[in-house]
Structure 1
């Protein structure tokens, strides 16, 4: 008969238990969608990076979170494989179990705790070992309320060690889907396949007190729990997601209609459903979204700055329109091969949960940067639940958007509270974002000031110049319904003094060209390769991506979406950079700060007669034109080719929002 099984020795049982604990913690760490965020000052300390204090540091968290913090270790060790870490544990069976469980991860332990009832617990010896470890550059992990509590009450020792070692203390808060065990501290047993949040607080100096540490730990823990709680979908968000799902078939039909109208690209419709044939590049990937032409041009300096700042990272830039895609394609052709191969383009998927999920699973961005005001609740929620921090760059909220979000306060507050930060264009924009729930708002200036002017190929520019000849040109840019008639009336008045005037009308949406032509009569159209004769007063430039050429031949220009309420205006900096005297209508609320900066160098005209009175002296006076253009250019920082004058604090803040 076979021998009877032998009982496992205490050491064997302890080893088995440690392996089980380690396997479970590894499962939790790898299957949980963690988000890591907090004070950027803590990152170099946590990672022992160059520039951090010469000695080590102390990382503190409540004892109830002890099973969640291995995920922080995994995050930090991935960024710095040479990270040296020691954990202070108690000299008992539970402490040894933890030591055995984490030893294979390269984590050292120091055994000891405060003496109790005259019994030596190894506290003095542990204190000396901890002091040597910190002086040696290691990071020491401590639970200030452990090992026996009271829970969330700082016991003497942590800040004493920090004062003697002259090292910082980083408070950590953690929260995830967990079970609370009936222990003295209600220990959190994390569940796998859930979401979690770890917040690193502002580092405390060595002169901070126990009360300071208790307050910092409480704040970090509250922030972590709040971030975890807001990751769950609210009823308004569930309704939004359900609406998107139900509308999915109609959106597919709409894609076909848009394709027929030239608003989509053949062969790329699947991108709107979150599908792509492209492979995700290795390493870090930033996702930037710029809806259309204006946002895309604003994003270009930031794209170049980030490619330079992160030489091993890639950028995925999504657009909502084909015109935005064309802007990026033209710019990509000007980049070096190294940078061009790290810049990708996709059309952004519609805000349908299944489609956005596909997109995020494939690209796995480390951060999402949305330009100006292009925000969708489902996309923001999906990023938040996957631990992808979201920021708004060059953020603006027009009167119309502000009113619309206020009408849907519940959905808006939920979405805006999930933003990591907003870099607003103006004080008014920052105040509106804050009122909608954004916790952190900055003002780093308007990136449109840094954007290069629209480009023009030499071949296209030659065609346009030969067409215009020596005729004075009034360029009407980004016109909206009703404005073409005003411009035509103004051009008629101007021709009384300048009979050879050519008025080039560039509608904001070229799809309106048939309607415009029907209202203006027989006019040559650029989309049909029709050119104006010497007698034609109007040329309808109903094409995409050619504005740079038209600006370069313009004598003066007028910027649309501004003649009648509510309007909003358009970006004036493109014309300013190309030295073209500008006018606009009075309804320019979306760009009020830009026009205020430019002052009287941009004329505000209320109707066709005022536009004509402004235009005639400039058309007949070259010296006056040059003076007006120089005045406007002097009010805006110059653009140096190959240089990206993006504010350094903005780049620093973006860098702080991602896992290092």
Structure 2
């Protein structure tokens, strides 16, 4: 009956095998001769490791050191039909011979013949998690590697001295292999076992469904009809592609490529550009790697489509909404080996689904403002559970890292801002040459990525500036190009880039309402201002982009999303606080900005960590 229960429970459990790749490779080599160590409380789970290993390599042989008492004999009888052979005996206690010397000789002989010998260093009578002399002596006499294993699954702790875990069927389980140890001392072995056991138990906790997880899934399911209607409205407004609408529900074409597939998700244009150098580096480091890149916006998709590997090693899909059935389809089709989320585009149901599918989830360039962190904190257990399920977070700086840690994310690294790795914004050189010839010697001021309420201030400042510099040309670039017509009507402006209208000698304000040409307009500028920083809630936009091109740059004081960068760039950025100071900035001569010393490679830290995580 014990055998039937253990077999049904362990085989119906969904196991995740992770940890040291070297150890996992050793566990699949026949005739190797290895000592496999785990705590006595995990003894009932050991067959799961054996099932996994023999499924890959049937020639493996396993021996388990088990005590000679009635319990030990019962366990040995239960597991023997699975090819797990017991070696009976244990360390002598109070002068009483319990077969320790004989079992050691037998174990050494088996190791020499290439078998694996499993041992519980704290068994058979404890104290729990206290390494006994037998395990250390065996590893030294055998002169072979010791693999510390952490084993955990959904189950019941029995009222024994070690609180032995009795597995339950249809649950989640984790097998974590520690790095190989060669003739370790007792303290080294104990620390290694504690580490892998904690990792295994933490993995199982993260994978289990909570009441909040179920509630979120129900809410997503109930909202699905409304989301479908919203898609249709977005198509009507030009914000969705009609022929790719099914991708939002996890449907649509596409075949998963063979080999390792990394899923990278970026919300829109800024995050996509931010991820570009990381994607390039990953593709260069691992030639057989394929990347599935998802975005939430059409504009982000257009950026991905410009990649030279697009359609070959880089594929694009729109991310499905956080509806269990929709996202389940997505994972079933693509089966990514790992997921990378850029900045702060995180959804509880999506993270939970990845965790339950054993897909490591990573966050790069992690951004979490005071406001966002406060909102997540209000979500309570739902948020904390989501953040605790992340494999790791690479935050932009100390403040973001603190916010992630406060929500139980771990580990959290402070690698710096990935935008520092971005190449200078590109532009059409022929078009740049043409516009420069058209504009001539006129001074040019660029107001980039402006938001509603800011255009009023920028145009008022430009009017003041033209009193001192009558031929000043102001290029107004709204954050959302679709607002171009609205701005032209509101302010009586008659020149728009999207309509093919160039500025002439009488044009004082030119609306640049096109996508992907910011690099072109920055190269025309004598100075610039970055929007979303002077009015409203603010938050700011990327200050590295114009500075990298040598453009003197100003921002408003509301750069809350870029506090770390503002400290780094304090000697290079100018702060304007109102219309008067902005007008003065427009008409003042500035030296060319130089921030070459600020360029640093965050990518060189992230890429190896991502690839290492995929191998676990």
TM-score (norm 1): 0.82
- The alignment status of 1:125 with 2:81, answered yes or no, reads no
Match for residue 408 of structure 2 among 429, 432, 437: 437
Q: Indicate if the aligned counterparts of 1:37 and 1:657 stay in contact, CA closer than 8 A.
A: no
Match for residue 235 of structure 1 among 195, 199, 211: 211
Q: Indicate if the aligned counterparts of 2:397 and 2:414 stay in contact, CA closer than 8 A.
A: yes
Closer, same or farther in 2 for the Cα pair 1:358/1:606, shift >3 Å?
same
**CA–CA separation in structure 1 for the residues paired with 2:516 and 2:53:** 45
The more displaced of 521-530 and 117-126 is 117-126
**CA–CA separation in structure 1 for the residues paired with 2:290 and 2:59:** 26
- The alignment status of 1:391 with 2:362, answered yes or no, reads yes
Partner of 1:327: 303
Report deviation, 1:268: 0.9
**CA–CA separation in structure 2 for the residues paired with 1:303 and 1:215:** 37
**CA–CA separation in structure 1 for the residues paired with 2:146 and 2:567:** 46
Report deviation, 1:206: 3.7
Tell me the secondary structure at the aligned position of residue 468 of structure 2. coil
Tell me the secondary structure at the aligned position of residue 467 of structure 2. coil
Unmatched 5+ stretches in structure 2: none
Closer, same or farther in 2 for the Cα pair 1:309/1:193, shift >3 Å?
farther
The more displaced of 122-131 and 183-192 is 183-192
TM-score (norm 2): 0.87
- The alignment status of 1:564 with 2:535, answered yes or no, reads yes
Closer, same or farther in 2 for the Cα pair 1:219/1:484, shift >3 Å?
same
Partner of 2:152: 175
- The alignment status of 1:629 with 2:585, answered yes or no, reads no
Report deviation, 1:574: 1.3
Closer, same or farther in 2 for the Cα pair 1:340/1:221, shift >3 Å?
same
**CA–CA separation in structure 2 for the residues paired with 1:83 and 1:396:** 49
Residues 527-552 of structure 1: CA deviation (Å, up to 9, x unaligned):
22222222111111222222222222
- The alignment status of 1:296 with 2:272, answered yes or no, reads yes
Closer, same or farther in 2 for the Cα pair 1:605/1:366, shift >3 Å?
same
Report deviation, 1:446: 1.1
Closer, same or farther in 2 for the Cα pair 1:263/1:81, shift >3 Å?
farther
Report deviation, 1:582: 1.1
**CA–CA separation in structure 2 for the residues paired with 1:317 and 1:71:** 35
**CA–CA separation in structure 1 for the residues paired with 2:608 and 2:34:** 23
Match for residue 229 of structure 2 among 249, 253, 257: 253
Q: Indicate if the aligned counterparts of 1:326 and 1:545 stay in contact, CA closer than 8 A.
A: no
**CA–CA separation in structure 1 for the residues paired with 2:241 and 2:431:** 23
Partner of 1:614: 585
Tell me the secondary structure at the aligned position of residue 493 of structure 2. coil
Partner of 2:568: 597
Q: Indicate if the aligned counterparts of 2:23 and 2:177 stay in contact, CA closer than 8 A.
A: no
Closer, same or farther in 2 for the Cα pair 1:205/1:604, shift >3 Å?
farther
Backbone CA RMSD of aligned residues: 3.5
How many residues were matched structurally? 603
- Equivalent residue runs for 1:265-284 within 5 Å: 265-284=241-260
Partner of 2:16: 35
Residues 19-52 of structure 1: CA deviation (Å, up to 9, x unaligned):
x899x58x955x64333445xxx33234249xxx
Partner of 1:521: 492
The more displaced of 408-417 and 344-353 is 408-417
Match for residue 454 of structure 1 among 425, 430, 433: 425
Q: Indicate if the aligned counterparts of 1:579 and 1:633 stay in contact, CA closer than 8 A.
A: no
Q: Indicate if the aligned counterparts of 2:33 and 2:111 stay in contact, CA closer than 8 A.
A: no
Unmatched 5+ stretches in structure 1: 1-16, 50-54, 104-108, 619-623, 638-644
Tell me the secondary structure at the aligned position of residue 600 of structure 1. coil
Q: Indicate if the aligned counterparts of 1:89 and 1:95 stay in contact, CA closer than 8 A.
A: no
The more displaced of 356-365 and 152-161 is 152-161
- The alignment status of 1:341 with 2:312, answered yes or no, reads yes
Closer, same or farther in 2 for the Cα pair 1:635/1:180, shift >3 Å?
closer
Closer, same or farther in 2 for the Cα pair 1:93/1:635, shift >3 Å?
closer
Closer, same or farther in 2 for the Cα pair 1:613/1:282, shift >3 Å?
same
Match for residue 360 of structure 1 among 331, 335, 342: 331
Closer, same or farther in 2 for the Cα pair 1:312/1:110, shift >3 Å?
farther
Residues 402-438 of structure 1: CA deviation (Å, up to 9, x unaligned):
2211222222211111111111111111111111111
Partner of 2:82: 101
**CA–CA separation in structure 2 for the residues paired with 1:57 and 1:396:** 45
Residues 602-630 of structure 1: CA deviation (Å, up to 9, x unaligned):
21111222122223233xxxxx53xx322
Tell me the secondary structure at the aligned position of residue 658 of structure 1. helix
Partner of 1:159: 136
